[in-house]
Amino acid sequence: MAEERLQKIIARAGLASRRKAEEMILEGRVTVNGKVVTELGTKADPERDHIKVDGKLIRSGTELVYILLYKPKGVMTTVSDPQGRPTVIDLLGKKVRQRVYPVGRLDYHSEGLLLLTNDGQLAAHLTAPKSHVEKAYHVKVNGYLTPEQEEKFRSGVPIHGRRTAPAGLRLLKRGANPWYEVTLTEGRTRQIRLMFQHFGRLVEKIKRVRLGFLTLGKLKPGEFRTLTPREVERLRRLLRKKDMSGGAGTRRSRAVRARR
């Protein structure tokens, strides 16, 4: 195998994202053939060289896994929780041998589609701001937005001094507590709750139903499945396409279509 940059090798092994791997190198936590490496441009051959992170040997034959999970409410989107609350890793139990971690997050009170993987490179691309991969949510709110508020919601609202990106919004179900479908291309903390709060509405439930082309399908809360090789390749193609296009045109056109 040809030599590659250390941060890429570490990310592919599922130990961290590429950016986090760079921090590990700068902190002196990585060794190659017994020598501490602190230069980001350093390359190595994972088949030939002994590469260790925090003293643990990286094995080139690490199997990459990609899991689609239906996260229930009341579960933390973390590997562990100091307060002892259940986490998404607990839901996997012993059925997944590899060490995986969640891609992005759903807050404690939200539910729906979540990806977990040990592919640090793909995880970093999916969560990068420039990826613009669409995420769709079904949201129950304590009242309607006016037509004027809907237009402002789609155009973007200020959160903590910074305007959100254009978003899709359509009414799904009428009632005293209506349901909306919200489509985002960014993932700021508590974004949907804060966007509705901006217009004086409180969110009662959030369910993520789609990430790119991936949907929950027949999964029930707490259930999960492994992505097929075809789905993984399609996901990679989607990310490559977003990288080349910058995502801006796609984001705007889809947000406009979601208004109709």
Q: Which residues pair with 180 in a beta bridge?
A: 139, 171
The residues assigned a catalytic role are 107
The pLDDT assigned to 250 comes to 42
Secondary structure element (H or E) that encloses residue 129, with its range: none
Q: What is the pLDDT of residues 35-93, one digit of tens each?
A: 999 999 899 987 778 899 998 888 666 678 999 999 999 999 999 999 999 999 999 99
Which domains, from first to last, does the chain contain? Answer: 4-57 (3.10.290.10), 63-260 (3.30.2350.10)
- Tell me which residue of 86, 80, 76, 138 sits closest to 108, measured CA to CA: 76
Q: What is the pLDDT of residues 123-165, one digit of tens each?
A: 888 888 778 899 999 999 999 999 999 999 999 999 999 999 9
Token pair, residue 13, equals: 């092994």
196 and 202 Cβ atoms separated by less than 8 Å: yes
Q: Residue ranges of the alpha helices (H) in 31-173?
A: 88-92, 120-127, 147-155
Q: Between residues 255 and 137, which one has the greater pLDDT?
A: 137
The pLDDT assigned to 62 comes to 65
Residue that has been written with the tokens 């995502």 in this structure: 247
Q: What is the pLDDT of residues 164-214, one digit of tens each?
A: 999 999 999 999 999 999 999 988 889 999 999 999 999 999 999 999 999
The pLDDT assigned to 248 comes to 45
Secondary structure element (H or E) that encloses residue 162, with its range: strand 162-163
